[in-house]
């Protein structure tokens, strides 16, 4: 089994952040923390002008929260801390002064949808179906909700939150504004990402910083908001309904 990791590189002023976990790129606390550290590092590195966020493999971009760690949560404090890991990643992404380009090669579930929605621009393949599965395990998309609603609108976000067992297609996600473009293959997607990021790497860092600041206006309260949302999930994850649902998913 492959070891989990978060790696980064910078080449031609383009930073790449890549993560992997063996469980369909789900996100345990350690990986969430490493993502924050890496995003913040590239945010402050003058050699990097634009960032690509990607995961390893060709099937799943990110399966959301780690079920193994969810089952180990035993009190509200630990629950809030775990979900605060997602809050810190989202806040690092929105506060980063550089555009973050999402490379969504496969399915995105729960927190994975939150990551995609927190990118400034996303390309995806036709296999990048999305689902907010939180209600199916007894909680709700509280932490990722603000990013999802901001990106695709309240109606579409509410639809995803309610219909927690079914995927929406990559085409649906594109029509709602999550994906700028979808591609038949990973190769075609990567060609488009290379072209876009090369253009951005040659653009004015100060102008891009100001553009990002303007378009994320109104989210300044998210540091507190997402912390409050993490506490909501941390409380609900302790219910017997939630524990049973997570165990059932793990045993499929």
Write out pLDDT tens, residues 161-171: 999 999 999 99
Q: Report the pLDDT averaged over residues 240-249.
A: 87
| The domain made up of 5-201 is a member of CATH 3.40.367.20 | no
Range with the lowest mean pLDDT among 95-99, 122-126, 163-167, 238-242?
238-242
Q: Report the pLDDT averaged over residues 37-63.
A: 97
> pLDDT-based confidence at 250, cuts 50/70/90?
confident
pLDDT at 128 over 70: yes
pLDDT tens profile 183-196: 999 999 999 999 99
pLDDT value of position 1: 60
pLDDT value of position 33: 98
pLDDT at 221 over 90: yes
Cα separation, 17 vs 19, in Å, equals 7
What is the DSSP secondary-structure string of 70-81?
Answer: HHH--SHHHHHH
Residue 96 sits at the vertex; the CA angle it makes with 90 and 97, to the nearest 5 degrees, is 150
pLDDT value of position 192: 98
Q: Which residues of 55-74 are buried (b: 16+ CB within 10 A; e: fewer)?
A: bbeeebbbbbbbbebbeebe
Cα separation, 156 vs 73, in Å, equals 30
> pLDDT-based confidence at 243, cuts 50/70/90?
confident
| Domain boundaries of the chain, sorted by first residue | 5-201
Q: Return the percentage of the chain with pLDDT > 90, whole number.
A: 94
> pLDDT-based confidence at 15, cuts 50/70/90?
very high
Q: Report the pLDDT averaged over residues 42-57.
A: 98
pLDDT at 146 over 80: yes
Helices vs strands, H then E, count in the chain = 11, 9
| Average pLDDT score over the chain | 96
Q: Report the pLDDT averaged over residues 172-184.
A: 98
pLDDT value of position 249: 79
Cα separation, 138 vs 48, in Å, equals 40
pLDDT at 216 over 90: yes
pLDDT at 248 over 90: no
């Amino acid at each position: 089994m492959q070891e989990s990791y978060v790696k980064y590189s910078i080449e031609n002023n383009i930073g790449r952040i890549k993560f992997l976990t063996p469980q369909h790129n789900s996100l345990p606390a350690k990986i969430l923390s490493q993502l924050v550290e890496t995003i913040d590092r590239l945010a402050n590195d003058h050699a990097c002008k634009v960032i690509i966020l990607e995961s390893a493999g060709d099937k799943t971009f990110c399966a959301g929260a780690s079920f193994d760690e969810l089952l180990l949560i035993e009190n509200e404090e630990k629950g809030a801390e775990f979900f605060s890991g997602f809050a810190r990643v989202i806040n690092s992404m929105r506060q980063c002064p550089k555009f973050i380009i999402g490379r969504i090669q496969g399915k995105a579930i729960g927190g994975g949808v939150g990551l995609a929605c927190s990118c400034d621009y996303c390309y995806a393949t036709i296999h990048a179906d999305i689902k907010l599965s939180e209600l199916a395990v007894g909680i709700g998309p509280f932490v990722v909700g603000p990013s999802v609603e901001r990106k695709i609108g309240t109606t579409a976000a509410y639809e995803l939150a309610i219909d927690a067992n079914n995927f929406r297609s990559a085409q649906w996600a594109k029509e709602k504004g999550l994906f700028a473009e979808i591609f038949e293959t990973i190769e075609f997607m990567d060609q488009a990402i290379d072209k876009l990021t090369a253009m951005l790497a040659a653009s004015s860092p100060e102008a891009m910083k100001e553009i990002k600041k303007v378009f994320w206006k109104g989210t300044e309260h998210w540091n507190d908001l997402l912390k409050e949302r993490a506490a909501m999930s941390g409380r609900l994850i302790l219910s017997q309904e939630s524990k049973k649902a997570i165990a059932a998913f793990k045993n499929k």
